[in-house]
């Protein structure tokens, strides 16, 4: 483990000596609701947050290659009984802005705070099980609220207001980096995905300005989700489990690794299947409770071996590479190790997450960040020269210092300029094959991440 720079125990976070008035996450609203276990006493804010659960607003926020459906949002709003909007016909974007208007004081508070130089939740605690954590659900919903508002502002021809809202979303994502947990990293990816959705909508509407292209380009250049994944893997995921195995009693271990405690943390059904298979032979929680200490140490060995196997060879932060083939091969080895239930692999079998999904999600989001960085350079080139360049190499050094590469192949991204004056920009994706820029869509209308290419979506035919 030392050779792989892996922790044998958990280390409490270092204090962040950031003055409150310099920290976005220390604005009063986020201090009130930004941490786990805290709920807002603001009735209007709670109403709007709850509305995202009660209504289908989230379904209408679109996705990459799909604009936010403001018309559907308008229909949803018109069906509510607690509001009385002006009579139709009326621009759907105006209905959305009016619906969110009571939240303007809170939204303005976050907009003003987002201009502070630093953004970090203050994470404190002496135990990985009880340490302070950001309120992941609230952060995600706040980002969606700002996306909804910004999409309406774009539709009303107000890109400056929309850009101001996206900056709040970006700073929320940045604040997540102060927590080293895997959950925080996954939520950070999700919030950055919300921000990229808004960036794409403004790009599709041709509304961003030169200065905004530059600002977006800096954001995407500074995004390194592989480093975030590596940090959470090394500093928390492995460290926390080792801390628990080093220090918890049998009763505490049984409670920690119970079905009830673990249910919300599983990334897929593999651990649940292992749990059920083990319980055909013996009550799993009872066995963990009474297991000799040597058995616990054996579980610790197996857990660390399999965690290293399932992750270390699958991505390289320094090279900015992801290796789907190695990931698949290591996953098969992991599954083989978990096929037989023994007293020495019980804990590993129920706590190791499905790293294929995690690594794939990080790779795809990082790819979209790099494609977005290139899109900014392409648009700046077009603004100056009247058309997109024939090759990506023409962007350097005036519009981008160094071309980012495809995380999957290590080679330049695929780029073509069709006859229609637009461009085609893509990565070969998780299947490691060039499918000509075709994005595979599953029956649910979402990206099939393990098929087709990972490309920058074209502008919709109708806005």
- What pLDDT is stored for residue 266 in this prediction? 46
Same domain, 343 and 367: no
Q: Which domain holds residue 127?
A: 20-208
- What pLDDT is stored for residue 218 in this prediction? 98
pLDDT above 60 for 265: no
Q: Which of 175, 208, 241 is the last residue of a domain?
A: 208
- The model's confidence at residue 264, banded by pLDDT at 50, 70 and 90, is very low
- The model's confidence at residue 2, banded by pLDDT at 50, 70 and 90, is confident
Same domain, 157 and 77: yes
Question: Phi/psi at 55 (nearest 5 deg)?
Answer: -105, -175
Instruction: Give residues with Cβ within 8 angstroms of 210, minimum separation 6.
Output: 380, 383
8-state DSSP, 236: I
Q: Using alpha carbons, select from 400, 408, 298 the residue that is nearest to residue 359.
A: 408
Read off the pLDDT of each residue in 383-410 and give the average, rounded to a whole number.
Answer: 97
- The model's confidence at residue 342, banded by pLDDT at 50, 70 and 90, is confident
Name which residue leads in pLDDT, 198 or 2: 198
Q: Is residue 369 part of a domain?
A: yes
Q: Is residue 1 part of a domain?
A: no
Q: Is residue 15 part of a domain?
A: no
pLDDT above 80 for 435: yes
Q: Is residue 141 part of a domain?
A: yes
287-340 residue pLDDT tens: 888 999 999 999 999 999 988 887 878 899 999 999 999 988 988 888 888 888
Read off the pLDDT of each residue in 208-220 and give the average, rounded to a whole number.
Answer: 97
- The model's confidence at residue 50, banded by pLDDT at 50, 70 and 90, is low
Q: Is residue 14 part of a domain?
A: no
Same domain, 391 and 314: no
Same domain, 348 and 364: no
DSSP for 60-115, written as a single string: HS-BTTB---HHHHHHHHHT-SS--PPPSS--HHHHHHHHHGGGHHHHHHHHHHTT
Q: Is residue 218 part of a domain?
A: no
Same domain, 31 and 90: yes
Same domain, 390 and 344: no
- Angstrom CA distances, 308 to 234, 294, 312, 327, 334, stand at 10, 21, 5, 12, 10
Q: Is residue 342 part of a domain?
A: yes
Query: Would you tell me how many other CB atoms lie within 10 Å of the CB of residue 407?
Result: 26
Q: Which of 287, 320, 354 is the last residue of a domain?
A: 354
Same domain, 260 and 368: no
pLDDT above 90 for 371: yes
End-to-end CA distance of the chain: 53
With residue 425 as reference, give the H or E element that holds it: strand 424-427
The torsion of the CA quartet 118, 121, 122, 128, rounded to 10 degrees, works out to: -140
Domain count, the chain: 3
**444, exposed or middle or buried, with CB in 10 Å at 0-12, 13-18, 19+?**
exposed
Same domain, 52 and 190: yes
Same domain, 152 and 269: no
Read off the pLDDT of each residue in 29-37 and give the average, rounded to a whole number.
Answer: 82
Same domain, 336 and 378: no
Q: Is residue 463 part of a domain?
A: no
pTM: 0.92
- What pLDDT is stored for residue 354 in this prediction? 67
- The model's confidence at residue 270, banded by pLDDT at 50, 70 and 90, is low
pLDDT above 50 for 54: yes
- The model's confidence at residue 124, banded by pLDDT at 50, 70 and 90, is confident
- Angstrom CA distances, 256 to 40, 145, 351, stand at 29, 35, 10
Return the bridge partners of 316, or none.
Answer: 321
Same domain, 406 and 291: no
Q: Which of 173, 208, 243 is the last residue of a domain?
A: 208
Read off the pLDDT of each residue in 336-356 and give the average, rounded to a whole number.
Answer: 80
Name which residue leads in pLDDT, 281 or 214: 214
CA angle 221, 225, 226 (to 5 degrees): 115
Same domain, 255 and 158: no
- The model's confidence at residue 268, banded by pLDDT at 50, 70 and 90, is low
Rounded to whole angstroms, the Cα distance separating 232 from 251 reads 27
Is residue 89 reached through a cis peptide bond, with omega within 30 degrees of 0 on the bond before it? yes
Q: What CATH number did the domain enclosing 435 receive?
A: 3.30.700.10
Rounded to whole angstroms, the Cα distance separating 20 from 29 reads 13
With residue 441 as reference, give the H or E element that holds it: strand 439-441
């Amino acid at each position: 483990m030392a050779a792989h720079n892996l922790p044998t125990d958990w280390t409490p976070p270092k204090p962040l000596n950031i003055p409150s008035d310099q920290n976005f996450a220390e604005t009063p609203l986020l201090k009130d609701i930004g941490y786990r276990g805290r709920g807002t006493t603001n009735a209007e804010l709670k109403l709007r947050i709850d509305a995202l659960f009660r209504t289908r607003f989230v379904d209408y926020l679109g996705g990459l290659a799909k604009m936010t459906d403001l018309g559907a949002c308008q229909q949803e709003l018109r069906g509510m009984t607690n509001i009385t909007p002006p009579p139709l016909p009326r621009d759907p974007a105006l209905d959305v802005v009016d619906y969110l208007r009571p939240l303007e004081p809170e939204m303005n508070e976050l907009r003003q705070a987002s201009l502070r130089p630093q953004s970090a939740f203050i994470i404190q605690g002496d135990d990985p099980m009880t340490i302070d954590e950001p309120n992941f659900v609230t952060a995600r919903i706040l980002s969606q609220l700002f996306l909804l508002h910004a999409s309406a502002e774009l539709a009303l021809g107000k890109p400056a207001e929309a850009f101001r809202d996206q900056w709040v979303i970006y700073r929320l994502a940045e604040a997540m980096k102060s927590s080293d947990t895997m959950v925080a990293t996954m939520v950070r990816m999700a919030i950055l995905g919300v921000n990229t959705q808004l960036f794409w909508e403004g790009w599709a509407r041709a509304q961003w300005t030169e200065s905004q292209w530059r600002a977006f380009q800096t954001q995407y250049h500074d995004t390194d989700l592989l480093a975030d994944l590596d940090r959470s893997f090394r500093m928390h995921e492995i460290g926390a489990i080792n801390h628990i195995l080093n220090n918890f009693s049998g009763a505490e271990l049984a409670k920690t690794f119970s079905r009830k405690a673990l249910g919300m943390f599983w990334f897929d059904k593999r651990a649940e299947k292992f749990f059920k298979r083990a319980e055909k032979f013996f009550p799993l929680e009872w066995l963990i409770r009474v297991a000799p200490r040597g058995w616990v140490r054996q579980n610790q060995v197996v857990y660390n071996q399999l965690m290293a196997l399932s992750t270390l060879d699958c991505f390289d932060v320094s090279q900015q590479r992801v290796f789907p083939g190695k990931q698949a091969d290591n996953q098969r080895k992991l599954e083989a190790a978990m096929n037989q239930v023994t007293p020495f692999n019980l804990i590993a079998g129920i706590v190791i997450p499905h790293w294929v999904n995690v690594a794939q999600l990080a790779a795809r989001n990082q790819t979209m960040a790099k494609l977005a960085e290139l899109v900014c350079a392409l648009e700046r080139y077009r603004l100056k020269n009247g058309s997109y360049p024939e090759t990506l190499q023409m962007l350097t050094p005036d519009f981008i210092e160094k071309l980012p590469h495809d995380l999957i192949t290590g080679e330049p991204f695929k780029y073509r300029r069709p006859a229609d004056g637009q461009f085609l920009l893509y990565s070969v994706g998780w299947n490691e094959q060039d499918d000509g820029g075709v994005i595979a869509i599953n029956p649910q209308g979402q990206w099939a991440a393990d098929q087709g290419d990972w490309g920058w979506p074209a502008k919709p035919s109708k806005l």
